[in-house]
Every structure is written in C-alpha cells, then in structure tokens.
C-alpha cells in the first residue's frame, strides 16, 4: 500500500513538473512599463523592429507587458519573462506582411497576394479606408515611393494625427514616415520653449509642426513644391503663427538665416552630410544642437561619429557632446540613426 502511494505521488509530481514546464515554455521576454508609458514604448519597439507582434500585449496591475524580440540583457528597457498569448493568425500575419498606416491609408509592399491582403485589411481594420502597394523604395530628390492603388477608396490624400497635431498628407506626392513618430516626439521633449528651431528638410512639416507648438519660432525649408503646399496647409490647420516656411534648396536658403537657430533638424538620411556646413551656418554663435540623421550598418557607427565630429572641428566649432541613437531598423543589418550634437559657443 505504501509503495502504491509513493508511486502515485511520483506520477502527480511528474505531471505537475510537466505542466510547469509547459507553462514556462509559453513565457516570452517582455518589456514591462507603467500603463501610461505603454503606447510610447510600443511605438519605439516597433520602429526598432523589436516588437514581437506574434503575441498579445498584456496589462496586469497597472503594468503593460510588451512582447520583445530582444533578450534579458537589453539595457534600455526593463525586460522580464511573462506569460503572453499568441495573436490569432490572419492571412496577413501568416504571410508576414507588415504595413504603414498614414491617416486612413495603408501602404503594403507589392506581391502576388497583395489584393487578398488588402481586402482583409479593409475588413478587419476599420480605421483603414484605402490600401496602396509600394513597388519601389524611397528615391529621388523628393524621397518618394512608386505606389499603385490596390483596394478601397480611390484617393491619395489623408489626415494623419500625431501627438495632438493634424497633418494633411498626399502619399503619392509627399514623403512622410509614420515610423518616425517616436523620434519626433523625442525632439519635442528635448526642445526648450525659448528656442528657435530650423528644419532643413521639412516635407509636409511633421517635425516642424510638433516642435513649433512648443518653441518660440521655427524655420522650415522644403524643395518639393507639392510638399511645400502641404507644409503651408498644415501650418494653417494647426493654427501656428510662429513658422516661416521657405520653398527651395537648403544650400541656397541657409545663408539667409545665418546664426538664427538654437536647434537644427537634418532628417535627410544618405545625404545629410552634404548639408552639415549649412546647418552650422544657421546655428547661433551661442551654440546649440544639431540633430543629424543617417542610415548605416552598426559596424560603421564609430566611423560615422568620427567623420561628423571631424567636420565640425574643421569649421572652427567645438562639439561639447555627441550621442548616437538607433531610431529604427531600416534594412537588414542597417539602421536609421540620429546623431545629437551639442555645439559649443563659437
């Protein structure tokens, strides 16, 4: 009898151990943040391609647990193992299709099953009314993608909302990336109310509009006439009277605004270095900040910082601090990066 009890206990212990292992196997690394920080961190992880969208985001006791593609040694976030449920796998998810949402327009990549995925998006995502497919990457002086209409309403204009600002965008004529929302918000938090800000490559004004709501005044340059018209409309739409918008090339316009800016935004990846001299020309003699953007593989980060720093030194300006931040994943093993330069008084 005693042997039978012992044997049953062994079986029960084995079952409990098996169940515990099964439950443990369902745990995933999650970034855990207070509820009020959840949406901001979710956006940031998505932009960095670190959000594991196969699993649901869970809320427990005022904390948000966001499934994370990284590991437990990530220093930027509070990472812990959490129980999270798998999301239902739609056709789009099964195929691994991602998309950008600009207002009520979705932009996917073109492939043979694009029309079926577009139809599903319209059925399941009530905020989406139009679906386009990109058949090229960003290219040309105006940084545009070639788009083809796939499904929904036949229009290219939409109103996009971001951190309380309203932005009219024509996706076929204006460069705009919703994936930079967290980065734009970061600069707003860095800026001070008494600053003058210069946005050298403004597009329809996403950086300019958000910053102008906080700072003393803003200057915005834009080369694309269509984007410039939307920039002007967005200034009016957000009821701003402290923005000077200029149509033209930043190289030609910058000398007219020598020494007027406390903070300069250079969101022109791949080409920003060609305009760094103009950015320094616009910067106040009292010093200030330059936010320089580029696209680089991680192994070239040190060389990129050295090159930028050396250029500034050769222009008889001194860098007090220099900080590099990954903004988002751009391509395999390449990142859209921000280099924040604090320039000393001249």
Please, how many CA atoms are within 13 Å of residue 66, restricted to the half-sphere of its CB?
23
Q: What is the mean pLDDT of residues 169-181?
A: 96
How do 319-331 and 263-266 pair as beta strands? unpaired
- The pTM assigned to this predicted structure is 0.76
- pLDDT tens digits for 9-21? 555 555 455 444 4
**Which pLDDT belongs to residue 247?**
98
> Out of 288-302, 306-320, 323-337, which region has the weakest mean confidence (pLDDT)?
323-337
Which of 188 and 71 is assigned the larger pLDDT?
188
Pairing of β 105-109 and β 100-102: antiparallel
Distance in angstroms (rounded) separating the CA atoms of residues 307 and 299: 14
Confidence (pLDDT) at 26:
62
The class (CATH top level) of 2-83 is: alpha beta
Average pLDDT over residues 12-36: 65
SS3 301: helix
The CATH number of the domain covering residues in 91-155: 3.30.300.110
Q: In sequence order, what are the residues at sequence separation of 6 or more whose Cβ sits closer than 8 angstroms to the Cβ of residue 18? A: none
Residue with the bigger pLDDT between 325 and 84: it is 325
For 73-106, the pLDDT digits (tens) are 777 889 988 888 887 655 555 445 788 999 999 9
- Choice among 7-16, 67-76, 265-274 with the minimum mean pLDDT: 7-16
Answer whether residue 225 shows pLDDT above 90.
yes
Cβ–Cβ < 8 Å for 234, 209: yes
The whole-number average pLDDT for the span 128-140 is 92
Instruction: Judge whether residue 32 has pLDDT over 80.
Output: yes
Residue 319 is inside which H or E element, if any?
strand 319-331
* Averaged pLDDT of the chain: 89
* Secondary structure of 44-97 as H, E, C letters: HHHHCCCECCCECCEEECCEEEEEECCCCCCCCCCEEEEECCECCCCHHHHCCC
Mean pLDDT of 292-316: 96
Query: What mean pLDDT do residues 272-300 have?
Result: 97
Model pLDDT for residues 43-68, shown as the tens digit of each residue: 888 878 788 888 889 999 999 999 98
Q: pLDDT tens-digit profile of 141-152?
A: 999 999 999 999
212 pLDDT above the threshold of 50: yes
CA 307 to chain centre: 25
pLDDT in tens, 119-133: 989 998 899 999 999
pLDDT at 5: 44
Q: Looking at residues 247-275, what average pLDDT do you find?
A: 97
pLDDT at 6 over 60: no
The CATH number of 179-343 is: 3.40.50.150
Where do the structural domains in the chain lie, given as residue ranges?
Answer: 2-83, 91-155, 179-343
User: What is the per-residue pLDDT for 110?
Assistant: 86
The CB-based long-range contact list for 92-96 (8 Å cut-off, 24+ gap) reads: 92/117, 92/120, 92/121, 93/53, 93/54
Please list, in sequence order, all residues whose beta carbon lies within 8 angstroms of the beta carbon of residue 222, skipping any fewer than 6 positions away.
201, 202, 203, 228, 231, 245, 246, 247
């Amino acid at each position: 009898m005693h042997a039978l009890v012992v044997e049953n206990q062994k079986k029960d212990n084995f079952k409990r151990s098996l169940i515990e292992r099964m439950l443990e196997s369902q745990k995933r690394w999650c970034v855990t943040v207070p509820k009020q920080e959840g949406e901001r961190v979710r956006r940031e992880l998505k932009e960095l391609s670190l959000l594991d969208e196969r699993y649901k985001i869970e809320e427990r006791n005022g904390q948000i647990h966001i499934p994370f593609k990284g590991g437990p040694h990530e220093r930027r976030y509070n990472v812990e193992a959490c129980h999270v449920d798998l999301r239902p796998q739609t056709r789009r998810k099964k195929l691994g299709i991602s998309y950008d949402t600009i207002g009520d327009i979705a932009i996917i990549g073109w492939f043979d099953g694009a029309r079926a995925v577009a139809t599903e998006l319209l059925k399941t995502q009530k905020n989406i009314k139009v679906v386009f497919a990109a058949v090229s990457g960003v290219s040309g002086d105006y940084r545009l993608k070639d788009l083809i209409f796939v499904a929904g309403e036949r229009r290219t204009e939409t109103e996009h909302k971001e951190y309380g600002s309203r932005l009219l965008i024509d996706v076929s004529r204006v460069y705009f990336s919703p994936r930079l929302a967290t980065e734009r918000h970061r600069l707003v938090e860095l800026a001070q109310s008494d600053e003058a800000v210069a946005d050298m490559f403004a597009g329809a004004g996403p950086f300019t509009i958000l910053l102008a709501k906080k700072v003393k005044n803003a200057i915005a340059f834009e080369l694309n006439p269509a984007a410039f018209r939307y920039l002007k409309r967005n200034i009016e739409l957000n009821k701003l009277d402290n923005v000077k918008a200029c149509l033209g090339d930043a190289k030609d316009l910058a000398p007219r605004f020598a020494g007027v800016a406390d903070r300069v935004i250079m969101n022109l990846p791949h080409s920003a270095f060609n305009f760094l001299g103009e950015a320094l020309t616009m910067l106040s003699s009292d010093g200030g900040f330059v936010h320089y953007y580029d696209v680089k593989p991680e192994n070239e980060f040190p060389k990129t910082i050295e090159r930028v720093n050396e250029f500034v030194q050769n222009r008889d300006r001194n860098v007090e601090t220099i900080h590099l931040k990954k903004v988002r994943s751009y391509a395999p093993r390449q990142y859209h990066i921000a280099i924040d330069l604090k320039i000393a008084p001249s």
